[in-house]
Amino acid sequence: MNPFNFIDSINLSKKDLLAEDPLNIKDYSPFIVNRGLSYFHDTVMYANQMNIHNDIPKDWQYSFLLNTIPKKKRFSKWHKKETEPKSLQLVMEYFNYSSEKAKEALKILSPEQMKVIETKLDKGGIQK
């Protein structure tokens, strides 16, 4: 059982997964479920209430969401962190910098210096 099963049961099927098997509560992640519900304008307030009252037991939170959110097909792609550019990754590896420090270093490095860094870090093989 994964958190997306709980989101689907809250949004679409309205089938109580905890009534089927009470041990499913160990797989319920309030953070993930609330995050999944926060992508929609008609469920964001319910998710926010569960975030405010995070001390409520998980089975109560699930029952509240299951019984208050109207049945509707909702789908949204989850936002993912963008990948860093290759030059930033090279500076991070070469100088052993964090991403913030590497961004600052990129501002002052010349294109010739970046070519030197790239050749020194070249590991050979097929480039992706």
Last residue of a domain, one of 42, 68, 94: 68
**Is residue 61 located within the same domain as residue 91?**
no
Residue 112 predicted with pLDDT over 90: yes
Alpha-carbon gap, residue 98 to 7, rounded angstroms: 35
What share of residues in the chain are helix, strand, coil (percent, to 5)? 60, 0, 40
Q: Structure tokens of 100? A: 């913030």
pLDDT digit string (tens) for 11-69? 999 999 999 999 999 999 999 999 999 999 999 999 999 999 999 999 999 999 999 99
Q: Is residue 76 part of a domain?
A: no
Alpha-carbon gap, residue 68 to 57, rounded angstroms: 17
So what's the pLDDT on residue 86?
Answer: 87
Q: Where are the alpha helices (DSSP H) in 13-110?
A: 17-20, 30-37, 44-52, 58-68, 86-95, 99-108
Long-range contacts of 111-119 (CB under 8 A, 24+ apart): 114/87, 114/90, 117/90, 117/91, 118/90
So what's the pLDDT on residue 85?
Answer: 86
In the predicted model, what is the mean pLDDT of residues 80-94? 85
The residue segments making up the domain with residue 112 are 86-120
Alpha-carbon gap, residue 1 to 27, rounded angstroms: 6
Residue 126 predicted with pLDDT over 80: no
Of 85 and 84, the structure prediction assigns the larger pLDDT to: 85
So what's the pLDDT on residue 83?
Answer: 74
User: Taking the model in full, what pTM does it have?
Assistant: 0.63
Residue 127 predicted with pLDDT over 70: no
**Is residue 62 located within the same domain as residue 90?**
no
Alpha-carbon gap, residue 101 to 115, rounded angstroms: 19
Q: Name the domain count of the chain.
A: 2
